[in-house]
């Protein structure tokens, strides 16, 4: 079985150190390359579908989270406040309050809606030590987050559009079948006590899932404190299920932050806030991708996309020139010279690299390389620009 904790260390994806702390992994070069490829893909996918990208601080005053409702309903999962200059600051458990303030930063009208904002940002959760593990459960999360501020009549269409994004990303990332769960509110102080608000939000989500013909389960007590959500559940190779992507409808925080827009059916109408995460936390996503692909990532996200293999030292100058050509074309490439072993040994050492560029006397004479594929197939003399083009997520 592919366990990402073992594979992640063998492949140089991530590491941990007790001096940094539990639940706080660091990214090694191969992992940083995979992460950057995924982040760039999602960023471009969002840009192409009308999102504007923003950046916001990982800290906020305690009052911000009191206003958002996190302090009252979610404080047990937050890090304790830090006092600075007589004020209390908190590592944010969520990006939503910051995005609400970005919406509120200037007047909005009906013509501005839907306003789609997205961010890849850090968030922090005070997870118990006993539940931490590798990249799948951490205390510092890089979250692919986004919020759509829309008129009430636009909410269903925006939820459906978010599900389109999620399904497109899952297909491109090689994520298999997913289960849809409608996560609802429950009893107790964890959830905002407003039955009418919950019913209204549930009606939107349930209607979208039914219109799309998606079978789904309903589960009480799994919603966010401010509203219900669609959870996209995935299973690892061992059958363990976790939530990757989410879509939520929120009528609560627009009221808490007094968000409004002009030109609606009523003066000063409030927008609906649709929360969506296309791929969830990057750490959990990469953990899943390591296990699903076993380290043999698709070419566009592979840590090393091409390795240049000279047959002998005589071909080293030509191989070095080819490496420069690969790097200039945008490929993540490296050189494996002859002093690292026989050609067969070097091919085996780079068996997970999608493209192996062999340079012998014939290739030196022709100015090209023989492209060997990861599965052992031969692609012939493929131009480097063509390899680079087919190694991008958007071809």
| Contact indicator for 223, 194 with CB cutoff of 8 Å | no
What pLDDT shows up at residue 334? 97
Strand partners, 183: 219, 229
CB-CB contact of 109 with 259 (8 Å):
no
Return the SS3 of 320. Answer: helix
Low-confidence ranges of the chain (pLDDT < 50): none
**In contact, 326 and 333? CB cutoff 8 Å:** yes
- Asked if residue 149 lies in contact with residue 100, where contact means CB atoms within 8 angstroms, the answer is no
Give all domains of the chain, ordered by start, each with its CATH number. 4-293 (3.30.930.10), 306-389 (3.40.50.800)
Looking at the DSSP assignment, which residues form a beta bridge with residue 143?
121, 281
Q: How many CB atoms lie within 10 A of CB 256?
A: 16
**Which pLDDT belongs to residue 146?**
98
Both ends of the chain: CA-CA distance in Å?
32
Interval 25-72: pLDDT, tens: 999 999 999 999 999 999 999 999 999 999 999 999 999 999 999 999
- pLDDT value, residue 365: 86
Report the pLDDT value the prediction gives residue 110, as an integer from 0 to 100.
Answer: 95
* pLDDT computed for residue 188 by the predictor: 83
Long-range Cβ contacts of 320-325 (<8 Å, 24+ apart): 322/357, 322/359, 322/369, 322/384, 325/384
Q: Which two tokens stand for residue 116?
A: 């789609």
Specify the pLDDT at position 1.
Answer: 64
Is the distance from CB of 73 to CB of 191 less than 8 angstroms?
yes
- The CB-side HSE value for 227 (13 A sphere, CA atoms) comes to 28
């Amino acid at each position: 079985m592919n366990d990402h904790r073992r594979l992640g260390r063998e492949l140089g994806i991530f590491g941990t150190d007790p001096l940094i702390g539990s639940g706080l992994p660091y990214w090694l070069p191969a992992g940083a390359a995979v992460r950057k490829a995924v982040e760039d893909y999602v960023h471009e996918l969002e840009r192409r579908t009308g999102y504007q990208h923003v950046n916001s601080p990982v800290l906020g005053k305690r009052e911000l989270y009191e206003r958002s409702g996190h302090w009252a309903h979610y404080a047990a999962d937050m890090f304790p406040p830090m006092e600075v200059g007589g004020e209390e600051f908190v590592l944010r458990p969520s990006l939503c309050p910051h995005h609400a303030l970005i919406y509120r930063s200037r007047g909005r009208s009906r013509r501005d809606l839907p306003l789609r904002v997205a961010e890849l940002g850090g968030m922090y959760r005070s997870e118990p030590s006993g539940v931490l593990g590798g990249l799948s459960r951490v205390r510092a999360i890089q979250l692919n987050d986004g919020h759509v501020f829309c008129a009430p009549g636009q909410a269903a269409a925006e939820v459906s559009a978010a599900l389109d994004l999620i399904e497109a990303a899952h297909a491109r990332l090689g994520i298999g079948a997913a289960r849809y769960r409608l996560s609802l509110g429950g009893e107790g102080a964890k959830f905002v006590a407003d039955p009418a608000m919950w019913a209204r939000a549930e009606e939107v989500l349930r209607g979208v899932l039914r219109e799309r013909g998606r079978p789904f389960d309903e589960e009480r007590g799994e919603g966010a404190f401010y509203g219900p959500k669609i959870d996209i559940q995935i299973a690892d190779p061992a059958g363990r299920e976790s939530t990757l992507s989410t879509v939520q409808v929120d009528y609560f925080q627009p009221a808490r932050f007094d968000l409004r827009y002009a030109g609606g059916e009523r003066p000063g109408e409030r927008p609906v806030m649709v929360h969506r995460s296309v791929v969830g936390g990057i750490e959990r996503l990469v953990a899943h991708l390591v296990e699903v692909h076993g380290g043999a990532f698709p070419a566009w996200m592979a840590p090393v996309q091409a390795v240049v293999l000279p047959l002998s030292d005589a071909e080293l100058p030509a191989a070095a020139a080819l490496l420069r050509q690969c790097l200039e074309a945008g490929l993540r490439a490296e050189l494996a010279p002859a002093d690292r072993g026989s050609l067969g040994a070097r091919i085996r050492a780079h068996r997970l690299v999608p493209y192996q560029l062999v340079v012998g006397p014939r290739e030196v004479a022709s100015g090209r390389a023989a492209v060997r594929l990861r599965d052992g197939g031969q692609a012939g003399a493929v131009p480097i620009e063509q390899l680079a083009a087919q190694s991008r997520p958007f071809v």
